[in-house]
């Protein structure tokens, strides 16, 4: 029995981590064998790569270097955790995946989209999410939630973050069956209810 792979995507401050953890708890309570992961990270090696990527001191990092580091962290996570969990029939919930690289490094930094897809296919061994929840909210609202200490990516310009959001919306338009756009509400419980509806329908028919 093959498991299901559900990913969460969104711009800065969209509440991805909160909403993905809430869904994880919900599915666990419903009796599903579920695991929760974050990207980049989760494995020991991937967490070390995450530290390098998000460290604001690494301001001279090249876009190509950044892209390849995200892919390296992803390759480790896929092989060490995701593939074994799916083989056991578990539901894998992951905070970010390859779509993040397509929008943050592709649409955002101008790295060739086809190159990202090619390297991404190699790094992930060809696995794709079965369902992706994209949490959408205006850029200014999201960046307000990040007004404290910012990491290297959060420090980037408003124009950059706009390209990221536009990239997500473009991907959602290209793959409407997989990527479901959920508008972020002021009340996080309403947002979560909308996510659960989508997930329940998906799990019923897949």
Q: Kindly report the CATH class assigned to 4-205.
A: alpha beta
Of 170 and 140, which is predicted with more confidence? 170
Helix ranges (DSSP H) in the chain: 16-29, 44-54, 63-77, 83-87, 98-101, 113-123, 139-144, 158-174, 188-205
8 A C-beta contact, residue 179 and residue 170 = no
Q: Report whether 194 contacts 137 (CB < 8 A).
A: no
Question: Residue 41: which residues within 8 A CB-CB, separation 6 or more?
Answer: 47, 50, 73, 77
If you average pLDDT over residues 66-91, what whole number do you get? Answer: 98
Ramachandran sector of residue 106 (left: φ over 0; alpha: ψ -120 to 50; beta: rest): alpha
Residue 26: pLDDT above 90?
yes
pLDDT band at 172 (very low <50, low <70, confident <90, very high): very high
Spans of all domains in the chain: 4-205
- Kindly state the average pLDDT of the residues 93-122: 98
- Give ∠ CA 6-7-12 in degrees, rounded to 5: 155
Question: Residues 169, 164, 7, 14: what is their CA dihedral angle, to the nearest 10 degrees?
Answer: -100
Per the CB < 8 A criterion, the answer to whether 131 and 4 are in contact is: yes
Q: Which helix (H) or strand (E) holds 38?
A: strand 34-38
Query: What confidence score (pLDDT) does residue 1 get?
Result: 59
Quick one: pLDDT band at residue 150, thresholds 50, 70, 90? confident
Predicted local confidence at residue 146, as pLDDT:
60
What's the whole-number mean pLDDT along residues 123-139? 95
pLDDT of amino acid 143: 66
Count of beta carbons in the 10 Å neighbourhood of residue 100: 24
Whole-model pTM: value is 0.95
Can you tell me which residue has the tokens 């409407």? Answer: 176
Peptide bond into 40 cis (omega under 30): yes
Q: How far apart are the first and last CA of the chain?
A: 12
66-86 mean pLDDT: 98
* Summary mean pLDDT of the chain: 94
């Amino acid at each position: 029995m093959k498991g299901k792979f559900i990913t969460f995507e969104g711009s800065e401050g969209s509440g991805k981590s909160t909403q993905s953890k809430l869904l994880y708890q919900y599915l666990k309570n419903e009796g599903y064998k579920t695991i929760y992961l974050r990207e980049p990270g989760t494995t020991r090696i991937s967490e070390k790569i995450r530290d390098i990527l998000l460290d604001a001191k690494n301001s001279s990092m090249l876009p190509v270097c950044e892209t390849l580091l995200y892919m390296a962290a992803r390759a480790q996570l896929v092989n060490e955790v995701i593939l074994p969990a799916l083989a056991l029939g578990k539901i894998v919930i992951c905070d970010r995946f390859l779509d993040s690289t397509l929008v943050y490094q592709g649409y955002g930094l101008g790295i060739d989209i086809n190159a990202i897809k090619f390297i991404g296919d190699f790094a992930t061994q060809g696995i794709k999410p079965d369902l992706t929840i994209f949490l959408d909210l205006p850029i200014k609202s999201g960046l307000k939630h990040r007004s404290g200490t910012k990491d290297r990516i959060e420090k980037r310009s408003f124009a950059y973050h706009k390209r990221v959001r536009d990239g997500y919306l473009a991907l959602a338009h290209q793959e409407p069956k997989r990527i479901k756009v959920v508008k972020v509400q002021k009340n996080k419980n309403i947002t979560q209810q909308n996510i659960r509806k989508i997930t329940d329908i998906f799990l019923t028919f897949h």
